Structure 1
Amino acid sequence: MAIQQAAQPSSQKLHVLIIGGGIAGLTLAQALRKYNISFTVFERDESATSRPQGWGISLHSTLVTLENHVPGEVYDAICQAQVNPEAGRDEVRGVPFVNLDTGKVEHMVPKSKRLRLRRDGVRLGLTKGLDILWGKKLASISRKGDDNAICATFEDGTSYTGTVLVGADGAHSAVRRILAPDNNAWENRRLPCNAIGTSYYISGAKVNELREQVDPLYFFGTDPKTNTYAFWSMLEQPDDGGMMYKMQLYFSWIPSGDERELVGLSPAEVFKLKGATMFPTLREVMAEMPEDAVVSYVNLVEWPAVAWDNWDGMATLAGDAAHCMSIYRGEGVNHGIIDGCVLADALKRAADGVVCPRKAVEEYEAEMRLRGKEAVDVSHQACLDAHDYRKIETEGSFALLGAKKV
């Protein structure tokens, strides 16, 4: 039997159930907290550190919006996750596109204010001041009573009631599966490329070579000989006078044929093979990869539908649950942040009695669906262009190299 938890306080007409404690869900929670709107965050992980949170992320055109929607101490905590604190919070910079054969910068994503951050540090910063319910894996959602409330039930037998439910539970969203069940509309679409990546510590000498030759923080590029794409980024700088720097390196490629040359190889061997044709400094960085480095394949998916039944405005989606997109424009996390802020603004109008909660959700979705669909489509094209050096060289690629809207 489900254990029914207390509903929202009687003095608070609006209570938001946030399924998912990732960056999108936590941004929404912090914005609601700032607006003094009642909410509960549910996260399937057992704690903030129980599962790896990926590598680095770049925040750019969302920074002002984020700062305006979260408490000041939370924004400060987020900024503390910078991979290079010396860069400061107001650095304006572009991102180099490199010919991975020669190591030369051939294009530059237009300059803007950017922060390069550790994903785990951003998530941890966003948990500041929140009372998150950990270890909550969603089982079902249902309407309650007179249909003015929505109930979330979890696999541990507990259930909670609110006014609006938001599925911010990632690319493989359990909420999306419920809201878009027809013909398996909830299913992700796999991108037409394979990807592999790792992170490890390298010497300051090698870091300085990359800094001098390419960029001090991060760069991306394509190998004209193989059309393999690469992304390199700093993750941590030593703060104790040490000489070892943590970095990440990622390769992707569109497979041709059966790739029989990769059969039987370990992930580390595939990784080394993919980088073997690239410019000398990058190969030397790869040579410093320790034997115990964790090299992992990356499952690249997108969800292009951006459509679901919102149960008459009682349930909606945000972040990757709403518009999962490829990584090649670096926009996914930024759209998740915008989702949280836009939805919080809409719910603030509902809390103030300007609109009803249903109308608030509809207003949010009207903006987000168009923005999200466009971002998924452009990011898909960026994925294709990233693995076609000749097209970049001859035609250019706004999808891959153009200014970011979000």
Structure 2
Amino acid sequence: MTSKDHTPHVLILGGGIGGLTLAQALRKKGIPFSIFERDSEQNSRSQGWSIGLHTILDDLKASIPDDMPSLETVFHLHPLKFPSQLAVYQAQDPSQRHGVTDDGAGKLLRANRRRLREFLSTGIQVEFGKQATGIQEDHHSVAVNFTDGTSANGDFLVGADGVHSIVRRHLLYPNEDKLKRLPIATIVGEVTLENEDMARQLELGHSCYIVRADNNITGSGDLVMFVGVNDVLPDAKSGLYYWFLIWPDEAATQGSHWTATASQQELLSAARAMTKNFAPEFKAIIEKTSVGGMRAPPLVMHDVELSPEDISSGRVALLGDAAHCMTPFSGQGGVTAIRDALDLARALSRVAEDGLRGAGLEAVMAKYRDTMLERGVRAVQLSRDAITKSNLVREGAPFAYGQCSKPIPLEKIRL
């Protein structure tokens, strides 16, 4: 229940970026919470690749407690001093590029995802190994059951539990889940580069760069290559890189797509063949990647679109990928999850401060739901269309990380 004599307790399913951001915002507001993560420990699996933080940095800094470290500690290029930068190229012309570069005003910060989760875990106890199996709710409370036989009770439940969210399925029941597999295929590689090899990649884009190619170049349809720095090693002369090849492919909606069963060697050979007509500067990172650096199987792309009519408003809410998972091709997923978390914290704070219940509580939560879903659907469609409608190949990135793209001069870097 909620009243001015009772501070609501919030249960958060999911210890990723969205769930942790919500926890920090609630911690600052003095609203009690418990956060549950299905993984056995924080680093039990890959934390994913770097994430661009933009347009929400001021709100994030203002919404988290004062005992947090500096947000700059999550910077993916640390200890290097280069500003965050995204560049876009045509596949056969490395001499011309456009994109965005942080101007020092704090509008763009590309974060290492592991460091960001560690930052957002400050002062928070996450209960690991908590896989939810069932949810019960009434007009006064919510309960969650876990596979280990335990349960948790609270006034609100927030599903920050990712793409395959059990909370989303609970809200949609008895209707089917709306998660869908997309007609987008990928090949993914990872490689550690050092010295001159790393310097050449930094010259192409400090943080990341995109190479776009149409059928005239590939002979097999539109293709996008994304290359990014995940982390710089302490010697400041080597770093962990990752790259994607992405293309529209209707067959990718089926489990039988050839990439699903291809060996690492087959994936690497395919990547080299698909980029054979790229400029040597762009092919270099694939040539440097070993067979063992290939991700097998590659990523499967999903997204989900929900409307306010799909899910009720009340004591159970969604945020981030649980509500609107999307492809990573517009740089919106992480930022949208953080914005959801900050908005939801404000909604829960109003419920707590005003002692809302019944229709008043539902109205506040419905406003959050509607705003969150509208924002999420826009981002989902933009991210999907970047590949399925070849917008990224045709248009490049005229608007990226919350800024208008502009020509970026070429540069020479020494490490």
Smaller-chain TM-score bracket: 0.7 to 0.9
Equivalents in 1 of 2:24, 2:92: separation in Å? 45
Is residue 95–residue 110 contact of structure 1 (8 Å, CA) maintained in 2? yes
- Structure 2 letter corresponding to 1:223: A
Equivalents in 2 of 1:205, 1:94: separation in Å? 19
1:236 aligned to 214, 231, 235, which one? 231
Unaligned regions of 5+ residues in structure 2, if any? Answer: 404-415
Deviation (angstroms), 1:240: 2.9
Equivalents in 1 of 2:251, 2:88: separation in Å? 28
Equivalents in 2 of 1:257, 1:359: separation in Å? 43
Unaligned regions of 5+ residues in structure 1, if any? Answer: 1-6
Matches within 5 A, 1:5-404: 12-74=6-68, 76=70, 78-85=71-78, 91=83, 95-109=86-100, 113-143=107-137, 147-184=139-176, 186-212=177-203, 214-224=204-214, 225-226=217-218, 227-240=222-235, 243-255=237-249, 266-296=266-296, 297-307=298-308, 312-353=313-354, 355-356=356-357, 357-386=361-390, 389=393, 392=394, 396=395, 400-404=397-401
CA RMSD of aligned residues (A): 2.9
- Structure 1 letter corresponding to 2:167: V
Deviation (angstroms), 1:307: 4.3
Q: 1:156 to 1:38 in 2, by over 3 A?
A: same
Equivalents in 2 of 1:342, 1:97: separation in Å? 32
Equivalents in 2 of 1:22, 1:372: separation in Å? 18
Equivalents in 2 of 1:331, 1:154: separation in Å? 31
Q: 1:260 to 1:31 in 2, by over 3 A?
A: closer
What does the per-residue CA deviation read over 1:155-192, in whole Å, with 9 as the maximum and x for residues that have no partner? 111111111111010011111111112441x2312222
Structure with the bigger RCO (C-alpha within 8 Å, sep 6+) is: 2
Equivalents in 1 of 2:146, 2:277: separation in Å? 50
Q: TM-score, normalised on structure 2?
A: 0.84
Q: 1:86 to 1:240 in 2, by over 3 A?
A: closer
Aligned twin of 1:4: none
Equivalents in 1 of 2:262, 2:120: separation in Å? 42
Deviation (angstroms), 1:325: 1.5
What does the per-residue CA deviation read over 1:89-109, in whole Å, with 9 as the maximum and x for residues that have no partner? 9x5x66221112222444425
Deviation (angstroms), 1:271: 3.1
What does the per-residue CA deviation read over 1:364-391, in whole Å, with 9 as the maximum and x for residues that have no partner? 11221211122212222222344773xx
Identity %: 27
- Structure 1 letter corresponding to 2:178: E
Is residue 328–residue 386 contact of structure 1 (8 Å, CA) maintained in 2? no
Q: Which runs of 4+ in 1 moved over 6 A?
A: 256-263
Aligned residues: 384
Q: TM-score, normalised on structure 1?
A: 0.85
Is residue 222–residue 387 contact of structure 1 (8 Å, CA) maintained in 2? no
Equivalents in 2 of 1:169, 1:272: separation in Å? 36
- Structure 1 letter corresponding to 2:280: P
Equivalents in 1 of 2:262, 2:344: separation in Å? 48
Deviation (angstroms), 1:204: 1.9
Q: 1:329 to 1:311 in 2, by over 3 A?
A: closer
What does the per-residue CA deviation read over 1:89-131, in whole Å, with 9 as the maximum and x for residues that have no partner? 9x5x662211122224444258672111211221122111111
Stretch of structure 1 that moved more, 58-67 or 175-184 = 175-184
What does the per-residue CA deviation read over 1:238-285, in whole Å, with 9 as the maximum and x for residues that have no partner? 3236x4321111111123789999785533333333333322022222
Is residue 254–residue 387 contact of structure 1 (8 Å, CA) maintained in 2? no
Deviation (angstroms), 1:305: 2.3
Is residue 275–residue 283 contact of structure 1 (8 Å, CA) maintained in 2? yes
Q: Secondary structure at the match of 1:329?
A: coil
